[in-house]
Amino acid sequence: IDRRDRHMARRLVALLRDGQRVAAVVGEGHLPGLERRLACLSPEVVPLQRLLHYAETGNLLAGISYLLTPQAL
């Protein structure tokens, strides 16, 4: 898991440096490593349950726009 976390973190940082908005869907086992490696960017973590709640209430776009809001840019 650690090697994959490093790879994903490097790729996410590269995308952010290119000015792209990023939404990453990752398994729960990767969250601790990615949060640690991306801490300087203050990533916004939106649990899947919250997105499902937005979908059930018909307000999915609010959840997605919240997910895509870059915190550190």
d(CA 30, CA 5): 6
- Per-residue pLDDT tens for 19-54? 888 888 888 889 899 999 999 888 888 888 887 777
- Phi, psi values for residue 11, rounded to 5°: -65, -40
Residue 61: its pLDDT value, please? 57
**Considering the entire predicted model, what is its pTM?**
0.67
Indicate the helix (H) or strand (E) that contains 6.
helix 2-17
